[in-house]
Structure 1
Amino acid sequence: MNDRAHTLSAGNWPSWVAPSLVAGKTTSLSELRTAGNWIFWLENRPEEKGRGVVVGRSPDGIIHDLTPVETDVGSRVHEYGGGAWDVRLNGETPSIAFSDRRKGGLWYVEDGQLDCWCPAGNMPENRYADITFDPVGASVFCVQESHSIGKAEAAIIHVNSAGQKTVLVHGADFYAAPRPSPDGHFLTWFSWDDPEMPWTATRLDVAVLQRATMELGVPHQLGGQTPCSIIEPRWADSATLYATSDISGCWAPIRFQWIGGEWTATMLPDARAEIGLPHWVFSQRTMTPLPDGCLLALGIRHGLNHVLRFDGHIWEELLLGAPVNVPERLADGRLAWIDAPSEAPPAIAVGLPETGFERFRESVILPPGITGEDIAAPQPLTFPTTNGVEAHALFYPPSRSSSSLRPDEKPPLVVMAHGGPTGRANPGFAFKVQWWTSRGFAVLDVNYRGSTGFGRAYREALDGEWGVADVEDCLAGVRAVVERDLVDPSRCVIRGSSAGGLTVLAALAQSDLFAAGTSLYGVTDLRALAAETHKFEARYLDRLIGPYPQDEAVYLERSPVTQAQSISVPVLFLHGGADNVVPLAQAQAMCTKLEHSELHVYPEEGHGFRTSSSIEDSLTRELAFYRKVLDLS
C-alpha cells in the first residue's frame, strides 16, 4: 500500500476491474499443443459469443487463426467437452481435425480449405471428442457419443478422410483418451462404467491394432485388478507408456514398458505432489515424456501448482512460471505452456528454466498503471474442521494501490465454493477473485473435503457427505479468518456455481454466518438432479449421497429446496435458460420458496455463461446485490 492511497470504505473503492474488461476482452486459453516449433492452443472469445478458435504461432513468431470464422471448435460430449481438436504438421503446414460445437460433426482444415469428414446427423446425433491423429494415414481416432432415443452410447472409433467410420471399442458406459503409439502398432484408452466416475475407478487398456482389417486384438488391462483411477495415458515411445494412477493414495505417474512380449509396470518414486486432475473434460495433460527419457509433470502441493522433472532416479522442481498445464516440448528443446501466475492474466509462455521465458498472447491486457499492488495474491490456509481433520483454502486480502480501508474497518468477506464438487480452487489469476478484492472485499476460496490436489483420502472424504462436510469446511474457514482478525464477521457472503450452489444454499440454511448468498446455476433439488441430469453425472450422486431411490430420504434431507424454510437472508439466483446439466427448473423451484430472493435468467446460456453480455450482467448484478444487502453506500 503506498502513501497516496485514499481511505475508502469497502465496496466503494474505484476498481480497475471494469465489467467490460472481464466480459468482453478476456479470452480463455486452453489445450496447448506443440508440433515442430509451432505452438498451438484453443481460444474461446466472449466477444464472438464464446466461439472456439484454434490458434497457432509459427516458428517465425507470427500468430495465426487456423480454423475458419464460420466454425466454433468445441464438443458437447459429456456436456463439458474438451479435446475437440488435434493438430499435426504436413511439412510446415498445420492440419487440424476438429468438432464443431454449433454445427456438430467432424471437420478437417488445412491451409484454409475446410472439409466435413462426418456430419453430425440427426437420429442418432453423433458428438466427437478426444480427437487424436492417426500416425499412419489421413485419419483420426476419437470418442463418439451417439444420442438417439434412450441413453447416449459411447465408443472409440477410427475415421478416415472419406468419412468412413470403424468402431474399435464399445460396450463400456464411457471412454476417453484413445491414443495410438507413435508407430501406430498399439492403441490405448481408458474407460469406466456406472456408477463409477473417472476419479473413482477406471480401466486402462492397450491392444494391438490390426491395420489390414482395422480391428483391435485382445485388450490387455494395464494397472492390475485393484480398483483405482488410472487416467491420462501418454506415449513416450512405441514401447513405453505413462499414465497417472491413484493406487498409492494420490494420482502419481506409472510407467508401462513392452518388454519381451509383455507389459511391465513401474510406479515412479513419490513426487510429494498430486500429479493428475479430475477427468471432467477430455485431453487434460499433467505429464510430458521427454526424448532424453525424463518426464515432466504438473504437481499440486498445498493447493498450488509446481513443475517437476523426473530424471529416471529423483524428482526435481523447475522454476518455470506458473503453468496450468504441463509444459510441452518444441523441436528445438524449448518448452511451451499456458502461464497463469496469481499476479498477471494467463498468457502463452515459451522458454527454459535456465534461460528464462517469454510471455505472449495474454488473455487480456490490463489497464495502464496496474501493478502487483493492485492484484490480490493467494495465501494458502489450513484450518481445523469437524471430525478432527483439517481443511484448506486460498485467502485473498483486498488489494488496490490507490485505496485503503478505514483504520477501524475490516473487509467484508466473499466465500467461494467451487463446483464439481470434485474440483479445486485454482490459484491462478482470476477476475472472479480480482473483481471483489479490487473493490475492498476479501475472498476465501475453499478447498473443502472432496477437493482434488490433496490425495484420494481427502477426495473421498465427501463420499456420502455432500451437503454436510463441504458446508462444515466453508463455515470452519470463515471462523478461521474471523479468529485471525482478517475480515468483518458481520459482513460475510457466500457464492458458488453448479455443485457449489448447493453448498451455498445449505450453508445459508445451516448457519447464521452469512448476510446473503448467490447461487450461479446451482443445484437445489437432488432428487430432480438424479432423475434429470445428463448421462455423465447420472450416477455421480450414488457416491456423494447414496444410491437412488433407495436413499431418497437422504436426498430430501440434503436438498436445499427442502431446507428453504431455514434460509432467512437474501439469495440471488443466476441461471441459464438452456442449462442441460442443472435445469432452470431447479432455481425456479427454490426461488419460489424463499421470502427474500431474486432470479435472473439468461435465456440462451447453458451450464456456465459464455457470452460477454451475460458475464457482464451477472457480475454487476451480483455486486449491486451485495452493496444493497451489506449497505455499502
Structure 2
Amino acid sequence: MAETAPYGTWTSPISAADVAAAGGGAQWLDVVGDAVWWAEARPAEGGRLTLVRAGQDGAEEMLPPPWNARNRVHEYGGRPWLVIGRTLYFTHWDDQRVYGRDLDSGEVVPVTPEPHVTQGVRYGDLRPGPDGAVWAVRETSTGPRRTDVRRDLVSITGREVVPLAATHHFLTAPQLSPDGRLAAWLGWEHPHMPWDATELCVAEVRPGGFGPHRVLAGGPGVSVCQVEWAGDGTLLALMDPDGWWNLHRIGLDGTAAALVPGERELGGPLWKIGSNWFVPLGDGRHAVLDSGRLAVLDENSGTVTPVAEHLTSWAATLARHGTGVAGIAAGPRHESAVVHVDLGSGAVTELTPPARPLPPAEYLPVPQERMFPGPDGVEIPAYVYPPANPGFTGPEGERPPYLVHVHGGPTGRVSGDLALDFAYFTSRGIGIVAVNYGGSVGYGRAYRERLREQWGVVDVRDCAAVAEALAAEGAADPARLAIRGGSAGGYTSAASMTSVTTYRAATIKYPILDLAEWTGDGGETHDFESQYVLGLVGPLPETRERYVERSPLRHAARLAGPVLLLQGLDDQICPPEQADRFVAALTGSGIPHAYLTFEGEQHGFRRAETMIAALEAELSFYGQVFGFATPGVPKLELRS
C-alpha cells in the first residue's frame, strides 16, 4: 500500500548519479562499410567524446583517451569524424586540429598545422573529397573579439590544407557529386540564422579549388537545412519555400519540386553543421524524420509512412544500413540508444545495450502530449510529466508543485521522450511540464516566427499560460510553480521571473541576461549567434529600448522570488560575465539566491560531477522555497 507523504519528499531509487550516467549518449552516427559508427560522450571522463564501432561482439571503442573528438566550429560543433580507407580522421578538442588514426597500427598523427594561437584555427563537418582528400569547414580567429572569425572551405590531403572557396560568412562542408565534377554546399550571411535564409550553392571542382559558384535554391525567406546528391546528378534538399521543411528534388538548372508536398516538418534547425534529417534508400524511397519521428517517404506513391512508432524522438543523424536505417532514437520508455530498423520486417535492434538497467517503469512518468489555449488564440503544445512513484501518494487535498521546463534555442523543441532528469523530480513528487512555446520548431515557419521580435514576450506568455492552466484544472499547486531552463531557456526563465507573477522560483542555467550585450557589438557572445537577437528582439539601434525592457539583468529588483543560477566558466556561447553581473545586482537585495559555477564546463554540462552537483542543488533549492524536506542531498546555501 502506498505511503502518504508530502509532494517533493518521496523516496526515489533515481539518484543524481544515475542521471549523470545517462547524460552521455551517442551522436554523429554514420555507416562505414557494413559497420555502424558513432561518437559517444563519456561524462565520467570529463565529458570526452570518443568514437565507437558496433562489432560482432558488441560496441568497440575506436578512439582511446586522451583523444576527444569535438570541435568548436560555430561553438556548437560540426561533424567531427570521417573514415577514408584505413584511416580515421577526427578533430581533437584540445587544439582543434584534424588528426588521422591508422586503424591497423593505432598510430595517431596530426594532419593540419599547429595554429599560432591555441584553438585559433578550427575544423568541422568533415566530408570525403576526391582522391582520398578530406573536405571541411575551416574557422579562423582573426582578432581578440569572439566575433573576429573568418570561414572557408578547405581540402586536407596528407598534411597540406588547400583553400577551396569562401562564398559566405557561414558555410557547410562541400559534398562531391557522384561523377566527381561538382561540389554542393550551403551558405548564409548575417543577420540571418540558417533557419531564416540559406543558399544552396554548386560549383565545378577544378585543380586547386572550385570554379565560380551558382545558387540553385534558397535565398530570402527560404531555409535549406540539408542537401545530398542523387545518383542521377540532381540534388535532394530539405527546404521550406512553402513554410514547411519538405524534401525537394533540384535540377542543375535550378528547377525544384517537392517530392511529397504537405504541412509536415521533415527538417530542422541547423545548429550543428553535418546534421541530417533524411537519407536516400533507393528506388524513390527516403528515410526521413517527420517532426523528429522516423518515416519512409515514397515519391512514387506520394506517401510518408511512420516507422517504429514507439520511438518518438530521433537525432538528426540518419544513415542507410543494409535493408534498413541506423540512427539514434528514444521514446517515453526508451533511453536514447543507437538502433537499427529493418524496413522490411519492421524489427528494431538496439546496437548499444544499456550500461545499466533503467529504473522500474512505474517510477518513470509517461508524458501526456497536450495542447493548451494560448493568450493570442494559438494553441501551445506541451508535454506533461505528472509525479510518478508507486510507493507514495500525496496527502488528500494537497496538489503537487510543478516545474515549467523551457527548452533552449529558442529555435528548438522538446520531444516527450524519456528524460531521467525529469524522472529525478517526478519520482519525488514534483511534476514537470515541458513547453513548445511560440518559436519552437516542428510546427512550420509561421509557428517559429511567432517569436520574431517577440522574444521575452511570446515565450514568457506561452509558458505562463500552460502553468496557469495546469493550476486552474487542479493538477498543480498555484502557489508552488517554478520555471527552469538553460541557455535561451535560462533567458526565458529569468525574463519570466522579472515580468510575470506566475512562479515562486526559477533555476537559470548558463543564461542570456543582457540582450544588448549578447550581440556582436556587445561582445558577450560568439559569432554564430551574434546577430540572432536582431530577429528575436528587433533591429538596432531603432529598438534599443526594447532590449533594455526585456533584459532580466536590467530588472533584477523585480524578481518574483528566489533564483538559482548555474554557470560553466568556460562557456563561450553564454559567457559567465552576464550571470556574474546579475548575481552582483542581487547582493544585499533581500532576494534569496544561489550561484554555482563550474570550472572546465562549456555551454551545457558534460562532466558527471557537475551534473550531480547541479541536480542536487536544484532539488535542495525547491525544497527550501516550497517548504519540503530533501534528505540525502547537500543543503544549498541561499544568500540574500
TM range (shorter): over 0.9
2:45 is the alignment partner of 1:48: yes
In the TM superposition, residue 271 of structure 1 has moved relative to its aligned partner by 4.6
- Does residue 575 (structure 1) correspond to residue 585 (structure 2)? The answer is no
Alignment partners' CA distance in 1, 2:496 and 2:362: 33
Q: How far 1:225 sits from its partner (Å)?
A: 5.0
Q: 482, 487, 509: which one pairs with 1:493?
A: 482
Q: Paired residue for 2:472?
A: 483
Aligned to 1:589: 581
| Cα distance in 2 between the residues matched to 1:423 and 1:330 | 26
**Cα shift at 1:157:** 0.8
Match status 1:539 vs 2:527: no
For the pair 1:453 / 2:442, whether they are aligned, the reply is yes
Worse-superposed segment, 328-337 or 18-27: 328-337
Equivalent of residue 164 in structure 1, options 153, 160, 163: 160
Aligned residue pairs, count: 613
The CA deviation string for residues 236-265 of structure 1, in whole angstroms up to 9 with x for no partner, is: 32513211111111111111245xxx4532
| Residues in 1 aligned to 2:546 and 2:318: alpha-carbon distance in whole angstroms | 46
Task: Give the aligned partner of residue 283 of structure 1.
Answer: 274
Residue identity opposite 2:307 in structure 1 = L
The corresponding residue for 1:332 is 322
The structural deviation recorded for 1:484 is: 2.5
Could you tell which deviates more after superposition, 279-288 or 327-336? 327-336
> For residues 18 and 546 of structure 1, do their structure 2 counterparts lie closer, same or farther at Cα, with a shift above 3 Å needed?
same
Q: Any idea what SS the aligned residue of 2:340 has?
A: strand
Deviates more, 1:398-407 or 1:532-541: 398-407
Aligned residue runs from structure 1 range 110-509, under 5 A: 110-111=102-103, 112-123=106-117, 125-134=120-129, 136-149=130-143, 151-161=148-158, 163-210=159-206, 213-223=207-217, 226-237=220-231, 239-258=233-252, 262-300=253-291, 305-320=293-308, 321-322=310-311, 323-325=313-315, 328=318, 330=320, 332-353=322-343, 354-362=345-353, 364-367=355-358, 370-509=359-498
Measure, in 2, the Cα distance between the counterparts of 1:402 and 1:314: 50
Partner of 2:549: 557
Q: Deviations over 1:590-617 (max 9, x none)?
A: 1222332211111221221111111110
SS of equivalent to 1:55: strand
Q: Is the Cα–Cα contact under 8 Å of residues 345 and 362 in structure 1 kept in the other structure?
A: no
Matched, 1:599 2:595: yes
- 2:71 and 2:123 in contact (8 A); partners too: yes
Cα distance per residue 1:329-358 (max 9 Å; x no partner): 555313212121111211111231424111
Aligned to 2:11: 14
Deviation at residue 19 of structure 1 after TM alignment: 1.2
Deviations 1:363-411 (A, max 9, x none): 65235xx333221122222122222222221111112233332332222
> Could you state the TM-score of these two structures normalised by the residue count of structure 2?
0.92
Contact 1:346–1:363 (Cα < 8 Å) also in 2: no
> How far off its partner does 1:306 sit?
4.2
How much has 1:234 moved relative to structure 2?
1.6
Residue of structure 2 equivalent to 1:23: 20
CA distance in 2, matches of 1:82, 1:579: 17
Check whether the contact 2:287–2:294 (CA below 8 A) recurs between aligned residues: no
- Matches of 1:401 and 1:110, distance apart in 2: 52
Distance in 1, Cα, partners of 2:205 & 2:125: 18
Closer/same/farther in 2, CA of residues 433 and 188 from structure 1, 3 Å limit: same
For 2:75 and 2:114, locate their aligned partners in 1 and report how far apart those are by CA, in whole Å: 15
> Is the alpha carbon distance of 1:271 and 1:8 closer, same or farther for their aligned partners in structure 2, counting shifts above 3 Å?
farther
Tell whether 2:66 aligns with 1:76.
no
State the Cα deviation string for residues 296-342 of structure 1 (Å, max 9, x = none). Answer: 10011xxx634232242322323324251367455531321212111
Match of 2:376, SS? helix
1:373–1:24 distance in 2 versus 1, CA, 3 Å? closer
TM-score, with normalisation over the residues of structure 1? Answer: 0.93
- Structure 2 residue 92 is matched with structure 1 residue 100: yes
Structure 1 Cα separation of the partners of residues 316 and 299 of structure 2? 16
Q: Is the 8 A contact 1:242 1:254 kept in 2?
A: yes
Aligned to 2:601, the other structure's residue is in SS state coil
Is the Cα–Cα contact under 8 Å of residues 506 and 560 in structure 1 kept in the other structure?
A: yes
8 Å CA contact 2:481, 2:505 repeated in 1:
yes
Contact 1:34 1:328 in 2 (8 A): no
Aligned to 2:632: none
Asked if the contact 2:480/2:626 (under 8 Å) is kept, the reply is yes
| C-alpha distance in structure 2 between counterparts of 1:465 and 1:547, whole Å | 12
Distance 1:182 1:110, change over 3 A: farther
The answer to whether the 8 Å contact 1:32/1:338 transfers is: yes
Residue 549 of structure 1: CA displacement? 3.4
How far apart are the structure 1 equivalents of 2:317 and 2:66? 31
Would the alpha carbon gap of residues 78 and 145 (structure 1) be closer, same or farther in structure 2, given more than 3 Å must change? same
Cα pair 1:290 1:329 within 8 Å, conserved: no
What SS class does the counterpart of residue 454 from structure 1 fall into? Answer: coil
Identity %: 31
Kindly report structure 1 stretches of 4+ aligned residues shifted beyond 4 Å. Answer: 326-331
Deviation at 1:285, TM superposition (A): 1.1
Task: Please say if residues 142 and 149 of structure 2, whose CA atoms lie closer than 8 Å, have aligned partners that are also in contact.
Answer: yes
User: Is the Cα–Cα contact under 8 Å of residues 287 and 325 in structure 2 kept in the other structure?
Assistant: no
Q: Distance in 2 between matches of 1:325 and 1:543?
A: 27
What letter matches 1:54 in structure 2? L
Return the letter of the residue paired with 1:265: A
Secondary structure of 2:197's partner?
A: coil
Tell me the secondary structure at the aligned position of residue 338 of structure 2.
Answer: strand
Q: What is the CA distance between 1:177 and its match in structure 2? A: 3.7
CA offsets 1:562-582 (integer angstroms, 9 cap, x no match): 222211411111111122212
Per-residue CA distance 1:550-570 (angstroms, 9 max, x = gap): 322111111001222211411
What root-mean-square deviation, in Å, do the aligned CA atoms of Structure 1 and Structure 2 show? 1.9
Cα distance in 2 for partners of 1:318, 1:171 equals: 38
Q: Distance in 2 between matches of 1:357 and 1:166?
A: 43
Letter in 1 for 2:340: V
Q: Secondary structure at the match of 1:270?
A: coil
Q: Is 1:411–1:488's contact at 8 Å kept on the other side of the alignment?
A: yes
Measured after TM superposition, the shift of residue 141 of structure 1 is 0.6
CA distance in 2, matches of 1:548, 1:328: 40
Q: Is the CA contact 2:319–2:327 (under 8 Å) kept in the aligned structure 1? A: no
Match of 1:36 in 2: 33
Structure 1 pair 229/496, CA: closer, same or farther in 2 (3 Å)? same
| Paired residues of 1:577 and 1:584 also in contact (CA < 8 A) | yes
What are the superposed Cα offsets for residues 129-177 of structure 1, whole Å, 9 maximum, x if unpaired? 110122x32211110000132610011111112x212211114211114
Q: Give, in whole Å, the separation in 2 of the partners of 1:312 and 1:67.
A: 42
Q: Give distance in 2, aligned partners of 1:77 and 1:579.
A: 14
Taking the aligned partners of 1:521 and 1:486, their CA distance within structure 2 comes to 30
Cα separation, partners in 2 of 1:551 and 1:327, compared to 1, 3 Å = closer
